[in-house]
Amino acid sequence: MWYEQGREHVWLPYTQMKRAPLALPAVATNGTRITLSDGRELVDGIASWWTACHGYNHPHITKALETQLHTMPHVMLGGFNHEPAMTLAQRLSKLLPGDLNHVFFADSGSVAVEVALKMALQYWINTGENGRDRFVSFNFGYHGDTIGAMSVCDPDEGMHSLFKGILPQQFIVDLPRTKEEFIEFESFLKSKKNEIAGVIIEPLVQGAGGMKFHDSETLAAIYNIAKKHNVLFIADEIMTGFGRTGTMFACNQAEITPDIMCIGKALTGGAMTLAATVASEEVYQAFYADTYKAALMHGPTYMANPLACAAANASLDLFEQEPRLAQGAALQSLLADALEPCRALPGVVDVRAKGAIGVVQVERLRKVSWLAERFLEQGVWIQPYGDIFYLTPAFTIDDADFSTLTDSLCRTMADWSRL
Ligand SMILES: Cc1ncc(COP(=O)(O)O)c(C=O)c1O
């Protein structure tokens, strides 16, 4: 009844509402499973867009939420501060690389990216360097769906190409990999540095743009060039943060400390929406002044929502108390081995894994509805997009559910490749 009556009123994400098949009615989650209204259970291969790293409904997070719910579900941060936010900010400062010590909370990843861009622009205004108002970002990058975030996404291949020409104009370049490309990248940065506020990158994995990987040397080299030419380096770890690439943060693998870092998604272990933009000491100091004009003029109504902060603190407990990072890291070879048979299939271009991300890239994705039906029949939740099939399961997935996912994916891809 709720489904029939509500269906027309919920406008779904990235969906042509006229043509799209009906969305599945989810009624419960538990561990790595999603239950549908007819009682069927699906093994989740995506962990709700890479958020539920401990699996759904982890009792420790649920308990923290219940306790917080009864004391203070929300209070405005303007004029107040509270224990869940202050504890979380301190813990994040310890956990994040270097002197990323100043946490500005937001309510979604896109907003955290907006704040990062604004913070970088104002950093230059506050330090008296006018005209540094553009960003360098990379083809195949994805940073969110709001206007500023869209402006630094891939302008052609991404989902926002419709808005090309309307968005603020940025410098969007190929991610350098070879020696020659690095020389070119550096000379470009050097020539435009007086116009550039910052470089923004998804470290190690360009996620929604096709799960494209680069190595830690590449990341470190881009960082070093940005630093050499005095350009702010912004790491968008909204997807990669909290163990997804095998270390707590992808930047750890390159041993770099960005000037600004965005985090979100798995910050609360997938239980609540929360994100943050974290600034280094130097960036923070540019705002720390006697004049009000130098302050950061931003403040989402629900920023640092106590329930969300309580969930995030509980999620960090689990990283401390359980072998969560090791579990995530161990998935790399398991995914690589399990997906390897797909490489021989016609139409498959590449099979790769990094941390808890397994990818089968194809020449062209087709028969998407057929695929969705096959996956559903087999009791798995796998959602191919662009030119990839991918798995980003909870780090806690057990062997049986892992095999169910990878077997179904390989079997379905074999059938699909023959269609
Ligand atoms: C790297 C990256 N940045 C930003 C975002 C946007 O986050 P949100 O969907 O919470 O706005 C995403 C979401 O997929 C992301 O992967």
Per-residue model confidence as pLDDT tens digits over 177-210: 999 999 999 999 999 999 999 999 999 999 999 9
Quote the percentage of the chain above a pLDDT of 70.
100
Give catalytic status of residue 14 as yes or no: yes
pLDDT one-digit tens code per residue, 27-54: 999 999 999 999 999 999 999 999 999 9
Does 385 participate in catalysis according to the annotation?
no
Structure tokens at 48: 């709700």
Closest residue (by CA) to atom 9 of ligand 1? 109
362: which strand partners? 348
Single-letter residue type at 407: D
Ligand 1 centroid from CA 143, angstroms: 5
With a 6 Å cutoff on the Cβ, whether 207 touches ligand 1 is: yes
3-state secondary structure at position 355: coil
Q: What is the spatial distance between Cα 206 and Cα 233, in angstroms, rounded to a whole number?
A: 16
Is a pLDDT exceeding 90 seen at residue 161? no
Q: Considering the chain, tell me which residue range(s) the CATH 3.90.1150.10 domain(s) occupy.
A: 2-54+324-417
Contact 176, 227 (CB under 8 A): no
What would the two tokens of residue 332 be? 């790399």
Identify whether 236 is a catalytic site residue. Answer: yes
For ligand 1, atom 5, which residue shows the shortest CA distance?
A: 144
Closest protein CA for atom 10 of ligand 1 = 109
pLDDT digits (tens, 9 = 90+) for 82-135: 999 999 999 999 999 999 999 999 999 999 999 999 999 999 999 999 999 999
pLDDT value at residue 318:
98
- Name residues whose C-beta falls within 8 Å of residue 256's C-beta, 6 or more positions apart in sequence: 97, 219, 220, 223, 233, 235
| Nearest CA among 310, 315, 320 for reference residue 66 | 310
Is the CB of 239 within 6 Å of ligand 1? yes
How far, in Å, CA of 60 to CA of 64, rounded?
Answer: 6
Looking at 3.30.365.10, 2.40.110.10, 3.40.640.10, 3.55.50.30, the CATH number of the domain 59-321 comes to: 3.40.640.10
Residue 165: per-residue pLDDT: 85
Residue 123's pLDDT is 98
pLDDT for position 307: 98
CA dist 149 and 153 (Å) reads 7
- Range(s) within the chain of domains with CATH label 3.40.640.10: 59-321
253-274 pLDDT, tens digit each: 999 999 999 999 999 999 999 9
CATH number of 2-54+324-417: 3.90.1150.10
Residue 284: half-sphere exposure toward Cβ, Cα within 13 Å: 13
On average, the pLDDT of the chain sits at 97
The reported pLDDT for the residue numbered 164 is 83
Per-residue model confidence (pLDDT) at position 334? 98
Per residue in 354-381, pLDDT (tens digit) is 999 999 999 999 999 999 999 999 999 9
Position 340 scores a pLDDT of 98
Gyration radius of the chain's alpha carbons: 22
Ligand 1 nearest-atom number relative to CA 110: 11
Look at residue 159 in the predicted model and tell me its pLDDT.
75
Separation of CA 95 and ligand 1 centre (Å):
21
**Position 123, amino acid:** Y
Helix (H) or strand (E) holding 149: helix 147-151
Model-level pTM?
A: 0.98
> Residue 157: its pLDDT value, please?
78
Give residue 156's pLDDT: 87
Residue closest via CA to ligand 1's atom 7 equals 109
Helix axis angle for 399-417 and 324-339, nearest 10°, is 30
Q: Is 144 in the pocket of ligand 1 (CB under 6 A)?
A: yes
Q: Which of 152, 175, 200, 239 to mutate to test the pocket of ligand 1 (most atoms within 8 A of CB)?
A: 239
Is 390 among the residues known to form the active site? no
* CA of 122 relative to ligand 1 center, distance in Å: 22
Residue 264 CA: nearest ligand 1 atom is 10
- 109 touches ligand 1 (CB under 6 Å): yes
Per-residue pLDDT, averaged over 300-318, amounts to 98
Q: Active-site residue among 44, 107, 236, 259?
A: 236
Ligand 1 atom, smallest distance to 108 CA: 10
Residues 200, 309, 47, CA angle at the centre, nearest 5°?
65
